[in-house]
Amino acid sequence: MSEPVAAEPSAALRSALRGYLDHLAVERGVARNTLLAYRRDLERYLTFCAEAGLDAVNDIRPEHVSGYLMALREGSEGHPALAPSSAARAVVAVRGWHRFLLAESATADDPSGDVHPPAAAKRLPKALPVELITAILESASGDDPRSLRDRALLEFLYATGARISEAVGLDLDDLPDAGAPVVRLRGKGSKERMVPVGSFATDAISAYLVRGRPALAAAGKGTPAVFLNIRGGRLSRQSAWTVLRDAAEKSGVSAQRGPVSPHTLRHSFATHLLEGGADVRSVQELLGHASVTTTQIYTLVTVDSLREIYALAHPRAR
């Protein structure tokens, strides 16, 4: 018995989708991976619309959008049910497309306006206490080129809260000079931000640039990348992840707390700043979050810490 063939979206629907994807790529400058995710989600939505007999964007009604959300959550033939977070991402893509069509006067209304993404369970970021972060950083010791590079990389990640992609994408021209210890980071959507670099990271990077990087660069063809691999090319994300994993295992932190990822250093950076008195807006700027709402999840971590301190310290807390 042959499998049913999925309905093909009309040329009008596909044309409307191409216009939106072009808008995201050219005018909004979204990252390539983000654009691919939007394309996948919206192509599935177009197929759903085609199977419902819809040929034009003006045919889509709120019940179709809510029906699509239900199909995402319940699953369908060839598509397993999605978790709330994945379904929410897909619905956000749909809402963005419909808002674009309305703004471009391609439709008279927005059928997705009253359809809200499912709320995902709020997960607290995994942050390590300062002493464990210090143990990880100090485990990367030695004067050979690779050890100097590893220490500089780890110090940099914790000092700036940079994403791993931002760290390996760092070029020599992005580094601070002696008079202005501020580094340029290129985040999601190629957005740039300036982030201060503390003295520990500055010292580690200086040691690497003087005594480590030249030896690594000699094996390559010349690259502006700050962090190099043993062949003299730009260090990959996977290799940078391995540097942190090895340092966490060597320090014993992995045995105590489980696997440590580059995002662990980023989470710890944000949490420690807030615990030290930094305001949420400042941390938002340092992390490169588009919305302060994303940053505010870290305040839940610090409130948890305050509860523990209160329970232990207040004579009538129990």
> Is 18 found in the same domain as 66?
yes
Helices (H), 162-221: 164-168, 199-211, 213-217
| Residues 242-252 pLDDT 10s | 999 999 999 99
Hey, is 63 helix, strand or coil? Answer: helix
Q: Considering its fold, how many domains does the chain have in total?
A: 2
Residue type, 44: R
Query: Tokens 């690259």 correspond to what residue?
Result: 223
**Residue 109 lies inside a defined structural domain of this protein:** no
What pLDDT does residue 206 have? 93
Q: How far apart are CA 40 and CA 32, in angstroms?
A: 12
The pLDDT, as a whole number, for residue 12 is 93
Report which residue type is found at 77: E
pTM across the whole model: 0.58
- Collapsing DSSP to helix, strand or coil, 192 comes out as strand
Q: What is the Cα–Cα distance from 175 to 181, expressed in whole angstroms?
A: 8
Cβ–Cβ < 8 Å for 273, 300:
no
Q: Is residue 136 part of a domain?
A: yes
Which domain CATH number covers 73?
1.10.150.130
pLDDT digits (tens, 9 = 90+) for 154-175: 999 999 999 999 999 999 998 8
Q: Look at the block and give the residue holding tokens 């959550």.
A: 73
Give the residue among 80, 78, 74, 79 at the shortest CA–CA distance from 3.
Answer: 78
Using CA atoms, how far apart are residues 30 and 23, in angstroms rounded to an integer? 9
170 plus 214 within the same structural domain = yes
pLDDT tens-digit series, residues 34-88: 899 999 999 999 999 999 999 999 999 999 999 888 888 887 666 787 777 788 8
- List the pLDDT tens digit at each of the 318 positions of the chain: 444 456 789 999 999 999 999 999 998 888 888 899 999 999 999 999 999 999 999 999 999 999 888 888 887 666 787 777 788 888 889 999 999 999 999 998 999 988 887 765 556 567 899 999 999 999 998 999 999 999 999 999 999 999 999 999 999 998 876 556 888 898 777 788 888 888 899 999 999 999 999 999 999 888 999 999 999 999 999 999 999 999 999 999 999 988 898 888 988 998 888 888 888 888 888 888 777 676 666 766 565 555 665 666 666 655
Please state the length of the chain. Answer: 318
Q: Same structural domain for residues 188 and 305?
A: yes
Average pLDDT, the chain: 86
Q: What pLDDT is recorded for position 248?
A: 95
Q: Which domain holds residue 26?
A: 11-103
Contact 15, 59 (CB under 8 A): no
| 247 shares a domain with 191 | yes
**Is there a domain that residue 83 lies in?**
yes
Instruction: Tell whether 47 and 155 lie within a shared domain.
Output: no
Same-domain pairing of 70 and 213: no
Active-site annotation, residues: 163, 188, 263, 266, 289, 298
pLDDT at site 308: 62
143 lies in the same domain as 263: yes
| Identity of the amino acid at 263 | H
Q: Same domain for 217 and 285?
A: yes
Residue at 29 is within a domain? yes
Give pLDDT, residue 216: 96
CATH number where 280 lies: 1.10.443.10
The residues near 190 (Cβ < 8 Å, ≥ 6 apart) are: 29, 31
Answer whether residue 121 is part of any domain: no
Q: How far is CA 18 from CA 13, 32, 37, 208, 262, in A?
A: 9, 15, 14, 47, 35
pLDDT of residue 301: 59
| Residue 189 placed within a domain | yes
| Residue 179 within any structural domain of the chain | yes
Residues 218 and 156 in one domain: yes
